[in-house]
Structures are given as structure tokens and as C-alpha cells.
Amino acid sequence: MIEALDNKIPATIQQSMMFDVSRILRHASSWLIERYGDDLDIVDSVEELKKSMATIYGRALSIVVGPARERQKRSAEEYMKHGVPEKLAKKMASLLLTRGGLDIADLANRHRKDVMETARMYAGMSDRLGIVWMNRCVEGLEVEGRWQALARSNLRDDFYRIRRDFATVLLGGRSRKTPEEVFDSWIHKNAASVRMFDSILAEMRLRPDVDFATLTVAAQELRKLTDSL
């Protein structure tokens, strides 16, 4: 991907792309350390995850739904507007899936599920429970100094962790249903709790400014909802 950059792309856009790649690499490194700890073997981990990750990247637009899909399309279009070739622009836009994609690939491998079925469940769950919106709000938080930046990073990680924990429970049961069907069954079984959570989220969406306190409460309410399985 990096080798594809050339003089036809403005230097500022190249720098922005390189920054995005380095940021994704940092996130991926943190994910690997958190997932494997002292047992981390880079070669084995890459071998274990690369096939599923290639599928996720290659079929990105068939996985994401709702606002996440629109965000990815806008990202690719923005790159192309600045002279980035379409193929490279779409690859850069698909990097938005990396953090969630690592969880999807790992969960599918661990629970012996089809990676695309797992991905569709993960994406549908993220959209239905407003997690995509919450993550976007976290990314939009303005920070001053190291500690606020760390607080934002921890809050973002918390949303990913809640989502992964919930998906782990959904995939861990004995059922012949697809992952999407399992999630749909959970929604119907917990309809009252989901409606209450929806009302809380709807109230938050009406706020002109969503701050750290609001998103911290959102994370707590999401955890309470998903722990009700």
C-alpha cells in the first residue's frame, strides 16, 4: 500500500495517509499485546489471523451497515477527491475496520464460526446498539494534554471491550443458528431492557455536545444491557 504513493498525490495527503497507517499499526500492536500477553508470538499470530483479516478487508462494504458504511464510503471518496487512485483509496478506507476486524477474526477462529457470518453479526450488533455512534463521539472528543488523551483512549477501548465480551458470549452458546440469528434472538428475549437502553441513547443523541461524562454513562449502560444475557 505504501509503495503505491507517488508524486501525483499531494504531500499533505500522503502525510495524512502515513499517519493513518501508523495509527492503525499502533492499535493493532496494542490489540495483540492485550489479546496474547506474554504468550504473543508475532509470526504465529499473523499466520492465525491473516486469512480472516484478508477476507474482512476484501469484503469490507458487504460487512458494514448504517453510519459505518456511509463513513467508509465517504472516507474513500475523500481520498479520491485529492488524487488518490480508487483502489488505494478503498484500501485506506477499509483500515477503519482494523480494530473491530481483529476481534471478528479472532472470535471466528476461536468459536469455529464463518468469518463473514461473524462479521455481519458484529456489524449489525454495533449498529443496532448505537456503538458506532458512541465510538464516533469518543473520536470527536476534544482533549487537552496527556491525561485527557489517555482518558479518551481508555473510553474507546472500553466500548470495543464491551462489544467483544458480548460477542464472545453470543458465539459461545450451543446453537445451530447463525451468529446473526443468535443476536436477533437475544434482542427479542431482552426487548424490555433494549427499549430502555434505546430511550437512554435517544436522549443522549439530543444533546448538543456529548462529553466524557455522557459517554462514560453510555458505556456503563451498555455494559449493564449486554451483561443481561
Residue 3 has pLDDT above 60, yes or no: no
Whole-model pTM: value is 0.87
- Of 113, 142, 159, at which residue does a domain stop? 113
Are residues 107 and 133 part of one domain?
no
Cβ contact 92:79 at 8 Å: yes
Calpha distance 13→79 (Å, rounded):
8
Are residues 109 and 43 part of one domain?
yes
- Residue 8 has a pLDDT of 74
- Of 88, 113, 138, at which residue does a domain stop? 113
CA dihedral over 86, 66, 95, 112, signed as positive or negative? negative
Please give the distance of CA 114 from its chain centroid, rounded to a whole number.
Answer: 18
Cβ contact 1:92 at 8 Å: yes
Model pLDDT for residues 122-145, shown as the tens digit of each residue: 999 999 999 999 998 998 898 888
Band of pLDDT at residue 208, cut at 50, 70 and 90: confident
In the chain, the number of structural domains is: 2
Judge whether 2 lies within some domain: no
Output the average pLDDT for the chain: 90
Judge whether 144 lies within some domain: yes
Judge whether 185 lies within some domain: yes
- Residue 5 has a pLDDT of 52
Judge whether 147 lies within some domain: yes
User: What is the share, in percent, of the chain residues with pLDDT greater than 70?
Assistant: 97
Are residues 105 and 39 part of one domain?
yes
- Residue 6 has a pLDDT of 54
Are residues 89 and 12 part of one domain?
yes
Are residues 180 and 142 part of one domain?
yes
Q: Which residue has the higher pLDDT, 3 or 165?
A: 165
Judge whether 118 lies within some domain: no
Are residues 97 and 145 part of one domain?
no
Domain with 150 in it:
129-229
- Residue 2 has a pLDDT of 47
DSSP letter for 9, please.
S
Are residues 133 and 86 part of one domain?
no
Are residues 88 and 26 part of one domain?
yes
Model pLDDT for residues 17-50, shown as the tens digit of each residue: 899 899 889 889 989 998 889 899 999 999 999 9
